[in-house]
Each structure stands twice: as structure tokens, then as C-alpha cells.
Amino acid sequence: MDELTDLELLKGIDWMELAEQAGIQTIEFGGRALIAVAIFVIGRIVARMITNAVRKMMQRQQVDRILESFVTNLIFWILMVFVVIAAIDRIGIQTTSLIAIMGAAGLAIGLALQGSLSNFASGVLIVVFRPYKVGDFVEAAGISGTIQQVQILTTVLKTGDNKKVIVPNSQIMGSIITNYSANDTRRIDMVFGVGYDDDIDKVRETIQRLVDADDRILKDPACQITVSALADSSVNFNVRPWVNTPDYWNVFFDLTEAVKKEFDKVGISFPYPQQDVHLYQQNA
């Protein structure tokens, strides 16, 4: 009895109409699939065009190659995510849940990589505004050294005693940056103390002669030699010569040594710190 019922049901089906509906559904799905493919292909081309435009702009600004590659790839894949979502939505697949999942995942990743994202943003600022470049001697984040590499997340410095120090970019951008190599010239600030019995005119002439004899010391601006303080046990002279930045330390050390030798030669004294003690005797 059940078999007869099934046969009657099969006979009652309009196979032509069913085939026609299946064909219509197939054509509609095929049309949506073609449109989705077209969206993907055209969107990919547009994403490439936008990425290339950004790359050319960064090359004109002479942005670091590492940053250029990272940023352009990031832009391309972000655009491709939107293209893929648009293509999937055109096929008929609901993308609301997919977008919600991607948003939650992006938020979780952002929170997990908060420090790295901060370093990345600081690296972008360093490359764009260029507070320093490779080869500059700087003081930043409590570290003094020569810049060796400016990377996406960190800056690599070499200290004066040849240590390699890797500093997160966010710490550098969050601190005061002193770039000693930014300008072509620098002023050396030196202090020499002489005795109160010494002739200060003779002292000034002696220092001026040593300054004039050193070709590395610039004539313009002129070296300033002035009495700066009448200290407890010495008369202090401020000596401020200007030099080219690469000559700073060599001139500093050489001039200090030359002043000591010349003062000894001409009889100008370097007084030791001293204190007068007065004793009073009281009769019992």
C-alpha cells in the first residue's frame, strides 16, 4: 500500500516544471557567480592601482623601503578583504555574521598587539618626520649612540663602547630626542680655572693663541673667551670655540691637553681647591 502511495506521489510531480525551476535557479546562481567573479577581478585590479599609487607617493617622499613594503602590503590586503566580502555577498551568502566574527578577531588581535602597534605607529612617525637618520649620534630614551638601523618596530643604536642597543620606537618617540649630528657645526663649552694671582690678560692671550693655532676651530663664529666666575679658589674662564661636528671630540681633548701644557710652560697655575683654617687659642 505504501509502495502504491509513493508511486502515485511520483506520478503527481510535474518533472518538466521542476526541471525548468532548477534550470532557472542554476542560471540565476551562475549569473550571481559571474558577477561575484567580476567584482573580485575588478576589485583586485583597483586594489593594485591604489597600492601602486601609495607606493609611488612613498617613494617620492623617500620613505624607508621596509616601511614602504609593509604599508603597501597592508593596504592591499585590507582592500582585498572588502573585495572578497562584496563578492561573497553578491553570491547570496550572508556576510553579516562573517563581518562580526572578523571584527571580534581584529579587536582581539589589536589588544594583543597593542605594544607592537604603538611601536609601528612610532616607527612611521620617525620615518616621516625624520628626527634622525642612519649615522647620526643621538641621545634618546636614556641611550646615547650612533643610529645603525631604523626598523618598523625598533631603532638599533651602537654605543661609544661598541654595544648594540635595540630600543622600541614608542619609547624613543615618547622621550626627548637630542640629535648631535643634525647640524654641521657645534660649540664646545670648556671651563679653565686659574689662580687669583695670575694675570687674567695673559691667560686670555695664551688661550687665544692656542685657539688660533688650531685650524679645526672655526673663525666664524669667533671663539668666546670670558671670565665666568670668581670661584672659591680659582678664577674661571669660559672658552667656547666652534668646530665642524665631526671634529668635536678631537678638538675638545686636544685643546684641553694643549692648555695644560701651555699654562705650565708660561707659568699660569691651576689652583687646587683650598680652605683657610683660622685657629684661636683661648687661655684657661
User: What pLDDT digit, counting tens, does each position of 109-130 carry?
Assistant: 555 556 677 888 888 888 778 8
Domain boundary among 112, 137, 156: 112
Strand partners, 224: 240
Residue 217 resides in a domain: yes
Bridge-based pairing state of the strands 185-187 and 164-168? unpaired
Write out the residue range of the structural domain in which residue 238 sits: 185-266
Q: Are 239 and 190 in contact (CB under 8 A)?
A: yes
The reply to whether 195 and 174 lie within a common domain is no
pLDDT tens digits along 218-247: 999 999 999 999 998 899 999 999 999 999
Nearest Cα residue to 186 out of 145, 243, 137: 243
The reply to whether 141 and 158 lie within a common domain is yes
Q: Which of 28-37, 75-84, 245-254 has the lowest mean pLDDT?
A: 28-37
Does the structure show a pLDDT above 50 at 1? no
Cis peptide before 271 (omega within 30 of 0): no
The pLDDT, as a whole number, for residue 54 is 87
Q: Are 201 and 171 in contact (CB under 8 A)?
A: no
Nearest Cα residue to 259 out of 181, 204, 195, 221: 204
Q: Which residues contact 165 (CB under 8 A, 6 or more apart)?
A: 143, 145, 156, 157, 158, 159
The reply to whether 205 and 241 lie within a common domain is yes
- Provide the whole-model pTM: 0.63
Strand partners, 194: 235
The pLDDT, as a whole number, for residue 25 is 63
The pLDDT, as a whole number, for residue 150 is 83
Q: Domain count for the chain, please give it.
A: 3
